[in-house]
Amino acid sequence: MRANCWYGKTSVSVEEVPDPQILNQRDAIVKISSTAICGSDLHLYNGFIPTMQKGDILGHEFMGEVVEVGREVTNLSVGDRVVVPFPIACGSCFFCKEQLFSLCENTNPNAWMAEKAFGHAGAGIFGYSHLTGGYAGGQAEYARVPFADVNPIKVPEYLSDEQVLFLSDIFPTGYMGAEMCDITPGDTIAIWGCGPVGQFSIRSAFLLGAERVIAIDQVPERLQMAEEGGAETINYEEQNVYEALMEMTGGRGPDACIDDVGMEAHAPGLIFAYDRVKQAMMLETDRPHALREAIMCCRNGGIISVIGVYGGFIDKFPIGSVMQRGLTIKTGQAHVQKYMKPLLQMIENGDIDPTFVVTHRMSLDDAPKAYDMFKNKKDNCIKVVLKPDWNGNGSVKDDSYTVVH
Amino acid sequence: MYRNEESEPLDLGDAASISEFELEASGSRGANYAVERARPGLPSTSAKRLAKGLGWFSIGLGLAELLAPRAIASISGVSNKHTGLIRLYGLREIAAGVTICAQEKPTEGVWSRVIGDVLDLTSLGIAASNPEAKLGRVAFATANVLAVTALDVICAMQLSSGSNHGIHAQGTCIVNLPPEEVYSFWRNFQNLPRFMRHLDSVVDMGDGRSRWKAKGPAGMEVEWDATIIADVPNEVITWRSLEGSDVDNAGAVRFQRATGGRGTIIKVNIEYNPIGGVLGATVAKLFGEEPEQQLDDDLRRFKQVMEVGEVVVSDATLLGTGYMAQRPGQPASSQELESAEMLPSETATNYGSEGRYTER
């Protein structure tokens, strides 16, 4: 089959690799109909996540049709249309029972690596370095899905791929970012980063009862999409974020702040140069500008929700501000399995249509071009969906798949 | 997984310690399960067997030196004017060999070989400065003597250390099931090869005895019989290998109910005399065979088998989880799958063509 493989910093290539096979009796094989590039894939693409190996298949947002199931998978049949969550959960460990699926204790066979880096290991993740298990990813024609009796969710035929694909990651991730804010009616939520996850956080915050959402970014088309979602916006290239937020909230600050940016934050001026140099010299692994700013801006006793991906160490972390002002920090990779059903219900109810975020549809074969476009925000690119069957024998169901713009 | 770097005494249990285990289980959790007493240690058969081998080697070499000193001189590249000295060294070798073979625990005999090795090396050094010496042959002979010296030193040290403690490894994990289930799975020793990578089979011989077959270093097959020393249901099992084992070993596994009924904490202590002694263990470490890491990996798989019914594999870890074993995160070819050691045996035969869905 064809698959998009990692070969080094900013180097990916679509290669012919063996088809996946059932290895355990709780596996299923899924023929992928749609797969997306995630903002966190750019951390791999940019070489910031260690333990990548040449030939690793990327991609953790995918869906498709079940073509084979292991003996012990009784709740799925060949032909079922499913969306696959990015963290792999076993369903029976302490954390899975607590619905903390991304912290599953059993699905990362390379847990020892993660223990060395983080003290403890979380769940295995598709196509996301050997540190998270070394599973082949979903930017491919087929994927082996372990614990298929626990993980994938069946989706109804009448919803299009693009309506349900983002249940695999960015919708639940953005939603959990907002949910961690414990929103009560009347709350003002500030959101750093208007990438795809940030876009879903904006809409989720409103769905959860926020009265005001203030979104922060510098890319005009992303700010425009945020405004279309009902947010007020701050362009950090043009305005001082702290001053703007204080002005908007009477000097108190937002009730909760979401970091939808993570380890590769951009910022104007010297502080960005400082972090970029330290990162390049391996003195810190992550550039935490957005997180620092969110802490300083949050109101006393407020919540900092960190859903953007961090992988290592940061410095100049304002712990004094956190402690003196009684802030609560909540974090985590999304427990996707917990959110898939209720969020699918919201899609079916018409509360939200996730297709708004898609700006580009391309063939899987164009993955290298798509990564470059997404990384460099060319052609106003916000979210790319890749279709393995793009140039196939007309098997793409929806004939509306043409490049937008 | 938590791991305590400090090795603590391994209590294999006897009547007295069983009652202490019971005391522990019913009483406070403050003290450590392993009671602080002298370790009974391992049966020292492997060091003794190595010593016997060295003894016979001594006798053979001694005879050669005594009867064919010229040939020995020629092989070693030294001048053949010293046949008298070589004959004398031959007598020394024979004496050491006979001493070793005659003694039950030949500590002195093996140390005398070490002294002999030093003499040999010194003589070779002096011989090398003689203009008649053939330097290539002297170097070859020196290398051989050095290799034997290493073996002698390891063997002598193993015999000398009164306690004869081998490698000690300790590991722990927590399983989301009550102690009764976890204990009975472990107590059924036939289950152990499902998660212990190096075990091929364990057969229960009845009467607390069991026969173990395992993969040793460099694909060697090793085998031993073990006997249960203490067995307190749902709390502890300890075992020790019997005399005559390929690998002398002993171990203890303890089961402890986690707080709030959150499963069972398992603590394992194992001790063994590695094949090839300390040197062998060091070489094995260089190839990623680190005992504590192996135990941790085994326990992680134990947890997987208990909680999800199978050993969890990813594309990268089909050939093992070690750093060197990682393959790319992409599906393996059928050929690679054949050699994958992490797969359950019932699926390992199912592989069809690797292009089962797409043309290749």
Which domain CATH number covers A293? 3.40.50.720
**Structure confidence at residue A401 (pLDDT):** 42
**CB-nearest partner of B307 from A26, A106, A130:** A106
Q: Do A47 and A122 fall within a single domain?
A: yes
Distance CA(A283)–CA(A133), nearest Å, equals 26
Distance CA(A336)–CA(A351), nearest Å, equals 19
**Structure confidence at residue B5 (pLDDT):** 42
Task: Single out the residue in A331, A346, A375 at which a domain terminates.
Answer: A331
Examine residue A402 and state whether it is found in any structural domain, yes or no: no
**Structure confidence at residue B76 (pLDDT):** 85
Neighbours of B88 (CB within 10 A): 13
Statement: residue A12 has pLDDT above 60: yes
Q: Do A157 and A190 fall within a single domain?
A: no
The more confident residue out of A292 and B131 is A292
Q: Do A52 and A134 fall within a single domain?
A: yes
Cβ–Cβ below 8 Å for B293 and A25: no
Per-residue DSSP letter, A79: T
Domain range list for chain B: 15-43+166-174+200-303, 46-160, 313-354
Examine residue A78 and state whether it is found in any structural domain, yes or no: yes
CA distance B231 to chain A (A): 28
Cβ–Cβ below 8 Å for A133 and B316: yes
Q: What is the CA radius of gyration of chain A?
A: 20
Superfamily, domain B15-43+166-174+200-303: START domain (3.30.530.20)
What mean pLDDT do residues A158-178 have?
97
> pLDDT averaged over chain A?
93
Q: Do A108 and A178 fall within a single domain?
A: no
**Structure confidence at residue B336 (pLDDT):** 85
CA distance B272 to chain A (A): 24
Cβ–Cβ below 8 Å for B321 and A112: yes
A41–chain B Cβ distance below 8 A for any pair: no
Lowest-pLDDT range, A128-132, A329-333, B276-280, B311-315?
A: B276-280
**Structure confidence at residue B350 (pLDDT):** 54
Examine residue A24 and state whether it is found in any structural domain, yes or no: yes
What mean pLDDT do residues A192-211 have?
97
Cβ–Cβ below 8 Å for B357 and A94: no
Examine residue A405 and state whether it is found in any structural domain, yes or no: no
**Structure confidence at residue B281 (pLDDT):** 67
Q: Tell me which chain A residue has its CA closest to the CA of residue B264.
A: A94
Q: Which pLDDT band holds residue A128 (cuts at 50, 70, 90)?
A: very high
Query: Residue A360 is part of a domain; what is its CATH number?
Result: 3.90.180.10
Q: Which pLDDT band holds residue A263 (cuts at 50, 70, 90)?
A: confident
Number of domains in chain A: 2
**Structure confidence at residue B3 (pLDDT):** 44
Q: Do A136 and A273 fall within a single domain?
A: no
Distance CA(A3)–CA(B262), nearest Å, equals 42
**Structure confidence at residue A198 (pLDDT):** 97
Task: Judge whether A209 and A182 are in contact, CB under 8 Å.
Answer: no
Q: Do A181 and A324 fall within a single domain?
A: yes
Q: Concatenate the DSSP letters of all residues of A139-164 into one string.
A: SBSEEEETTTTTS-EE--TTS-HHHH
Domain containing residue A238:
170-331
The more confident residue out of A45 and A397 is A45
Q: Has this prediction a pTM greater than 0.90?
A: no
Q: Which of residues 77-116 of A touch B (CB under 8 A)?
A: 90-94, 97, 105-107, 109-112, 115
CA distance A152 to chain B (A): 17
Statement: residue A298 has pLDDT above 50: yes
What mean pLDDT do residues A273-284 have?
75
Q: Collapsing DSSP states into helix, strand and coil, what is residue A259?
A: strand
Examine residue A400 and state whether it is found in any structural domain, yes or no: no
**Structure confidence at residue A396 (pLDDT):** 41
A274 contacts: CB under 8 Å, gap ≥ 6: none
Q: Which pLDDT band holds residue A294 (cuts at 50, 70, 90)?
A: very high
Q: What's at B143, amino acid-wise?
A: A
Q: Do A91 and A125 fall within a single domain?
A: yes
Order of strands across the sheet with A256-259? A232-235, A212-217, A188-192, A256-259, A303-306, A328-331
Examine residue A378 and state whether it is found in any structural domain, yes or no: yes
What mean pLDDT do residues A97-107 have?
97
Q: Concatenate the DSSP letters of all residues of B134-145 into one string.
A: -HHHHHHHHHHH
Q: Which pLDDT band holds residue A369 (cuts at 50, 70, 90)?
A: very high
Q: Do A99 and A195 fall within a single domain?
A: no
**Structure confidence at residue B162 (pLDDT):** 53
Model ipTM? 0.89
**Structure confidence at residue A395 (pLDDT):** 36
A18–chain B Cβ distance below 8 A for any pair: yes
Chain B residues within an 8 Å CB radius of A31: 357
**Structure confidence at residue B127 (pLDDT):** 83
**CB-nearest partner of A134 from B304, B315, B360:** B315
Cβ–Cβ below 8 Å for A135 and B314: yes
Q: Do A20 and A162 fall within a single domain?
A: yes
Choose among A220, A229, A161: nearest CA to A197: A229
Choose among A212, A280, A287, A223: nearest CA to A250: A212
**Structure confidence at residue A405 (pLDDT):** 37
A193-207 burial code (b ≥16 CB/10 A, e <16) = bbbbbbbbbbbbbbb
Examine residue A32 and state whether it is found in any structural domain, yes or no: yes
> What residues of chain B score a pLDDT lower than 50?
1-9, 11, 13-41, 163, 348-349
Examine residue A19 and state whether it is found in any structural domain, yes or no: yes
